A and B are shown apart, each in its own frame.
Chain A
Amino acid sequence: MPRILKAQLKTVKEKNDRLNPDSAWVTQNRKKLMSQINNTVSEDKPRFRFDYVWQAINIFVPGRLAYSVVRPTAIFILVGAIATSGWIASVGATQNCLPGEVCYGVKLAAEKTQELVTSVAGAKDQQAQMHLEFATRRAKEVKKVVENKEDDAPQRAAEAMVKLEKSIQTANEVIKEVVETEPEKIVEVVKGMQETAKDINQTLTAAAEQGGKDVDVAGTKQIVKDSSLDIVQTVVQKNKDDSGVVSDEDAKTIVKTQIDVAMQDTGDMKSKAEDTVKVLETAPVTSNNLPSDVVVSVSSTILISTSSIQVVVSSTTPIVLPTSTIKDVLGDVSKQAIAQGQESQKTLEEAKVLVEGNHLLEAISKVKDATQAAEQAERTVVEVKKAVDAVNSGVLNNTPIPATTTTIKTEIK
């Protein structure tokens, strides 16, 4: 009976027309309803919300399973994904931030976090690699800041360079720890350091060429070079004291690389000095038709010597010299720099011979001497170039040259 009763109940809606609505009314009411709801639909589509994703999933997942298992799991996964991707996206978005920008702090904070995590969980060689990477980033920032040519570019570049120097110094300290604690990894780490130093120097040189006289990268370049050389010396000394830390072949390779880098830098400096001399030789300047004289601010003793004039100046007071004299002096200074470059190259060649004879520490000492001399000469070339640019622009434009801020600190005899 119950089964028959149930079957009869099922058929009630089909067998009893009175229970069902009039089909004409159904159609008419549909039209009316559509008209009413169409009036309530605005042009603006609803904005996306996170729970829409859940509602979409719920279409295909059975209700109970969805609510008891899939939903908590999905929420867990999505929250995790959003948190992770949010962090990655935020930090990723700051990668192009430069000093002076608001987001630059976020970039540095992300690096600090990375530094903290690596200091707890990472090996020393990884820490060193990380600090070298940070230093490379700072160098690229200097270049980008200069390329953007904003008014405060020199200050922003200086800010990045201070941080670059700090990263290099930290890397230096960590690498020295690697030498003591994980000597088996030292060759790879030192090679990484040398490569980084080379890249940074190239980047900073390019930045200085674009930035002109206001962007001074010489000091930072020197710190990077010295740091690299210091590490090489530490490794070679360690190898000598504690034989077998690195193979002789590896030690030689590291020192040779350092010599090659110094040779390259010296060659570059010489080329610049030679270019300056050529510019001076072709400049259409005579002492009689100059529009004005050039004011040179001298802050240390300088001996100015030409074939016709010999002046010794020892003053911090700006002095006025005829442009033709300045031109001659600058030419002489450049030639001195070229001579210094040649001397450094000679010293480096001697270092190469010492390496072949396995006198690595002596070779490094030579590299240091050559590097310091070349660096000093390069500073001189940079200053001379600034002065040459000032003289040329004044003469070619036929306008009075404003007092230059050129300061020649090197003592030239």
Chain B
Amino acid sequence: MKDVINEKLLLYKVRIKRDPEAYGLLYDLYVKKIYRFIFFKISSREEAEDLTSEVFLKAWNYLVENSEQEIRSFASFIYRIARNLVVDFYRERAKRLPESSLDAVVETLAVEEAGGEHRLMISGEVEKIMKTLKKMKLEYQEAVLLHYIEELSAGEVARILGKSQINVRVTLHRALKKLKELLEKNRIE
């Protein structure tokens, strides 16, 4: 509760007083989370770093220029920016590959990501979980990443993904079930 109040207080200082120091503290709280979220989707350290920087700069500009807009949670706000930038990132890639349609590129990237787990230097049970997670559909990946790995509440995940809380709970349940099935299947194989 104390953390929540502190975070809201920092957000208030940023929006009303345009306080860079307060924004620096919010950066400290979220930079690793946002980086992980992006890196998990892109799997490239350099690109994840660039996009993370861009997320925080965009967030600042939005906050100071739209101080009348209601922002209930900084977490859901910054994750949504990150998510949109990842989508933009894929769109940009699609433009650079004109032969392919956007859907095809996204599909290709998803396949690349699914097969790109070699970039993650992981081991043991965690390695298996991450590899399996990467093979699941994007909706499940995001829900599991945000709720179980980043430990965001179902409500916050719902706001980030633009879904209802019930929908998110159902997705989480199915995603966990699917993950468990895939892990067991891999173990048997």
Contact = CB atoms under 8 A, between A and B. Distances in A.
A37 B20 CA distance: 7
B52 A37 contact: no
A18 B131 CA distance: 14
Interface stretch (A2-10, A79-87, A191-199): A2-10
Interface in A200-218: none
A67 to B, nearest CB: 8
Given A2-B176, A45-B17, A56 B12 contact: yes
A5 B180 contact: yes
A8 B120 contact: no
A29 B73 contact: no
B73 A63 contact: yes
A22 B72 CA distance: 30
B31 A8 contact: no
Contacts, number: 117
A69 interface: no
Interface string B130-144: 100000000000001
Dominant SS among interface residues on chain A: helix
B60 A37 contact: yes
Contact of B121 (A12, A17, A56, A67): A17
B79 interface: no
A56 to B, nearest CB: 6
B36 to A, nearest CB: 5
A45 B148 contact: no
B150 A13 contact: yes
Interface string B105-145: 00000000000000111100110011000000000000010
B61 A32 contact: no
B16 interface: yes
Interface residues of B, number: 50
A55 B28 CA distance: 23
Contact of B24 (A10, A34, A56): A34
A51 B149 contact: no
Nearest to B128: A8
A45 B15 contact: no
B180 A59 contact: no
B29 to A, nearest CB: 12
Contacts of A45: 17-18
Interface string B43-54: 001001100110
A319 interface: no
Contact of B12 (A1, A21, A29, A55): A55
B5 interface: yes
A26 interface: yes
A1 B49 CA distance: 35
Given A36-B57, A55-B15, 12 more contacts: A5-B183, A11-B126, A12-B129, A12-B149, A16-B122, A21-B49, A21-B52, A40-B61, A46-B67, A52-B16, A56-B16, A60-B8
Interface of B: 5, 8-9, 12, 15-18, 20, 23-24, 27-28, 31-32, 35-36, 39-40, 45, 48-49, 52-53, 56-57, 60-61, 64, 67-68, 72-73, 119-122, 125-126, 129-130, 144, 148-151, 176, 179-180, 183
6 contacts: A5-B129, A12-B149, A21-B52, A26-B35, A46-B17, A56-B16
Nearest 3 A-B pairs (CB), nearest first? A9-B148, A21-B35, A59-B8
Interface of A: 1-2, 5-6, 8-13, 15-22, 25-26, 29-30, 32-34, 36-38, 40-41, 45-46, 49, 51-52, 55-56, 58-60, 63, 67
